[in-house]
Amino acid sequence: MAQTGDKNGTDDLRHLLDQMSLEEKITMLAGKNVWETPEIDRLGIPSLKVSDGPNGARGGSFFDGTTAACFPASVSLAATFNPDLSRQVGKALGQEAITKGAYVLLGPTVCCHRSPLGGRNFEAFSEDPHLSGVLASEYVKGLQEERVAATVKHFLANEQDTRRFSINQTISERALREIYLRPFEMVVKEADPWCFMSSYPKINGKHVDAQPKFLDTILRKEWNYEGLAFSDWGAASTVESVKYGLDLEMPGPPRFRTPEAVNKALKSEAISESDIDARVLSTLELLKKVGKFDDRKTTPEEEAIDRPEHRALIRKAGGEGIVLLKNEGNILPIDVKKTKKIALLGPLAKYAAAHGGGSASLNCHYKVTPYDAFTRRLGEQVEITHSKGAHIFRVYPDLETGCINARGNPGFLAEYFMTPTTTNVPFLVEEFPRSSFTTLMNTRVTGCQTVRFGTNYRPSVSGSHYLSFSGLGPSKLFINDELAVEQTEPCSDAMGFLLGVQKEVRVRFKFEAGKEYRVVIETHPSPVSNAEIYLLDNQCSIHLGFIAQEEMEQDVLAEAVSLAQEADLAIVFVGNTTQWETEGQDLESMTLPADGSQDHLIARVAAANPNTIVVNTTGVPVELPWLDAVPALVQAWYAGQETGNAILDVLLGETCPSGKLPISWPKKYEHTGCYGNFGLDSFESRKVEYVEGVFVGYRWFDKFWGQEQEVRFPFGFGLSYTSFEIKDAVVEGSISSDPIAKVKITAKVRNTGTIAGAETVQAYLAPPVVDGFARPTKALVGFAKVELQPSEEREVQIEFGRSDAAYWDEGSDKWRVTEGAYEVLIATSSHPEDIKVRLATAVKGGFVFAA
């Protein structure tokens, strides 16, 4: 294929650009709708479709579209420390995007984890910029091998979701360069991504697109990036961003780049037509790269394509990312021959934690819960019992079972009206499978003023059942034509509402089994979103939650404890659901939800059965007040649609655990460097300062070994069912000003255990200490993962160069490498006790180099 970097390809596109009128060029500066760029039929310029997201190609529908394969979240992928696997996942995601007719995928998310309370941490790789950059680069390469553009996001500093649309973040230049820009720089230089997405927050007073520094000076001029840059949805903030390097405003139709606004900016000389030409040319180049000028068609989304090879890859990647954090007495793997009864307990035992909430969520082909996996594979060998043990509802689950709409189909019917009342004929009718809907990103309902949303509900059991109700705008709930709940004002947190974390009105209603109840909701759009983002203005959304009285009032804790007492083995599945860990809202604390119920459950079960294993499924570290009471702890992350099978593979030893923590795991949130300067702390002020500077994650905790603030589990840590020896490590070469020169580390790794397994050798560089200048004790500069049979020995190699040894000198605005003695630390985690070999290298003369 001819790439746009070829002279003929570029000339052809410039010729096409020359044929465009100014009006047509302005049209190309913004999307035409939520997911597509505009076409220019006169010149044969096609439209291009994009799709969320980083762990699955969702397609055009935000909630209930055609099913798709759900891959492990990026934090789970990072825990594999396996670049080859990341590339395979990227390639598979490219294949998935094509099935949705999309040739741009909105991923990967490359922002570093700054705080354990980051609501969207799971969607990004790691706290460490090097690990993030390496794995993201391979992901991008795999994706673009399928001629699907990767979109590296969110550029820049989208580490928190609280007030993310308006927050002003004060970040030092050194922290920007060494931590937050670094993974993006690595991806640009190593993988040539075809798209970049700009972020919402202000950085040092201005939005990214409202200043030339990031998109133009750093991304394009310093890093020589030649791809397309477009806004996060609704993140464009100025017409001047045309000059500052933002090629495309998304979504469409435009808010800032209307023909009137662009022509006004041209007239005032705030922008020039050459600026517009540069932006449009980027879009044309992307169309060529992904093959749209080769008649690559937009595939309809009606058919779900569930590939067996993708199922296998998801299961492998999910299992390889699982981290064994504790295994006292080698209680794992489970010895099925000696185990007669297993109690599967906890609110996540029958919940498939495939993904987090927000843009990473999708309608999976299927999801395997832990309970599904156990019963299908062990049900004939072992007696399996179950109790959820705790309720962790943030909002009640959707009403679904027993609902038949007016067309006689399961679910609800939404009728849309252009009037403030429902007396006229609706202009559109849609079916929904459950008791929630939204008009957001539904281009067919523009201008809607009222929605009637209803079903006929026939309960299977009688009782005073529990209902929860909320609307984005003013809403009423009727049951058999009687008003049950009225919400007179718009929702106070529109984004929270959309993502299922809103506060709701809760009521009780007496239902009789077998009797039919007409449930109808009327709702109106909220004129102002209360989410600080215009996309939610004038949208309608509804949620009706339902829990049966018997389920709500059952003593599930006592039940779980009783089952634990009777079992040979108790496995407690705890963690977060999409209601608790999601884009749009940061976590309130490091404690498991809700109100200590899961911690209390584990403590009670561990007291009842000493053979208690805890499987935690979150994208972030959590407090572990019960850790000393349980012999085993497994961190499962969000492992995709095969999560239950991946977990069981590890618990049974069919997969030897090899995952390593891509984050530091604090004992308490108060011990972190950003404590008091993150998330909800900034809600009212809309300001946050990155007070910890470059001391993020293990760089911070390296200060506190042997003290109360010492990390619970260090970055890079993870146990195995076998053991390894690292020996004969040597270092060759030295750090120099030559940008091509590399320091080469070689070491031999031997499997000294009795089963096959994999070890990750980590190389950290410790710089010389310079009086009066604070640098992290060490930083990861490379890693190598090796799979070994029992007694097998293999050599691994790791290389690093001057960029890995440098720090940002704010005085000269350049990278600086200090003269002196450096230590190369060969380790299996960032903890000092896990350093296996210390090697020496030196820089004889310090030097600087440009960004």
Strand 383-387, strand 341-345: pairing: parallel
Mean pLDDT value across residues 266-289: 98
The model's pTM is: 0.96
What CATH class does 724-849 carry? mainly beta
Q: Residue 706: what pLDDT?
A: 94
Q: Reply yes or no on whether the pLDDT at 91 is more than 90.
A: yes
Strand partners, 843: 820
Query: Is the alpha carbon torsion for 500, 323, 130, 176 positive or negative?
Result: positive
Q: Where are the domains of the chain?
A: 7-294, 308-391+555-701, 403-552, 724-849
Q: Residue 671: what pLDDT?
A: 98
Q: Residue 302: what pLDDT?
A: 81
What does the angle CA 456 – CA 461 – CA 462 come to, to the nearest 5 degrees? 90
Q: Reply yes or no on whether the pLDDT at 433 is more than 80.
A: yes
CB 714 within 8 A of CB 701: yes
Tell me whether residue 11 is one of the annotated catalytic residues. no
Q: Residue 607: what pLDDT?
A: 98
Mean pLDDT value across residues 6-31: 91
SS (H, E, C) 358-392: CCCCCCECCCCCHHHHHHHHHCCCCEEEEECCCCC
Q: Residue 440: what pLDDT?
A: 85
Q: Residue 676: what pLDDT?
A: 97
Q: Could you give phi then psi for residue 469, rounded to 5 degrees?
A: -145, 135
pLDDT in tens, 284-328: 999 999 999 997 877 788 889 999 999 999 999 999 999 999 999
Q: Residue 837: what pLDDT?
A: 97
pLDDT in tens, 57-82: 999 887 778 999 999 999 999 999 99
Nearest to 696 by CA among 673, 728, 722, 666: 673
Q: Reply yes or no on whether the pLDDT at 4 is more than 70.
A: no
Q: How confident is the model at residue 6 (pLDDT cuts 50, 70, 90)?
A: low
Mean pLDDT value across residues 382-392: 97
User: Cβ of 328: how many Cβ atoms within 10 Å?
Assistant: 11
DSSP-assigned letter for residue 409: S
Q: Residue 3: what pLDDT?
A: 42
User: Residue 20, SS3?
Assistant: coil
Options 2.60.120.260, 2.102.10.10, 1.20.910.10, 3.40.50.300; CATH for 403-552 is 2.60.120.260
Q: Residue 64: what pLDDT?
A: 79
pLDDT in tens, 563-588: 999 999 999 999 999 999 999 999 99
User: Residue 625, SS3?
Assistant: coil
pLDDT in tens, 99-114: 999 999 999 999 999 9
Q: Residue 1: what pLDDT?
A: 34
Instruction: Identify the CATH number of the domain defined by range 308-391+555-701.
Output: 3.40.50.1700
What CATH class does 7-294 carry? alpha beta
CB 535 within 8 A of CB 576: no
User: Cβ of 10: how many Cβ atoms within 10 Å?
Assistant: 17
Average pLDDT of the residues of the chain? 95
Bigger pLDDT: 498 or 387?
Answer: 387
pLDDT in tens, 401-425: 999 999 999 999 999 999 999 988 9
Q: Residue 363: what pLDDT?
A: 92
Q: Reply yes or no on whether the pLDDT at 757 is more than 80.
A: yes
Q: Of these residues, 232, 398, 493, 702, which one is catalytic?
A: 232
Q: Reply yes or no on whether the pLDDT at 530 is more than 80.
A: no
CB 367 within 8 A of CB 638: no
Q: Reply yes or no on whether the pLDDT at 491 is more than 80.
A: yes
Q: What would the DSSP string read from start to end of 539-604?
A: B-EEEEEEE-HHHHHS-HHHHHHHHHHH-SEEEEEEE--TTTSBTTB--S-SSPTTTTHHHHHHHH
User: Cβ of 637: how many Cβ atoms within 10 Å?
Assistant: 30
Do 308-391+555-701 and 724-849 fold alike per CATH? no
Q: Could you give phi then psi for residue 160, rounded to 5 degrees?
A: -125, 155
Q: What would the DSSP string read from start to end of 473-514?
A: SSEEEEETTEEEEEE-S--S-HHHHHTT----EEEEEEE-TT
- Residue 832 CB-density burial (10 A; 0-12 exposed, 13-18 middle, 19+ buried): middle
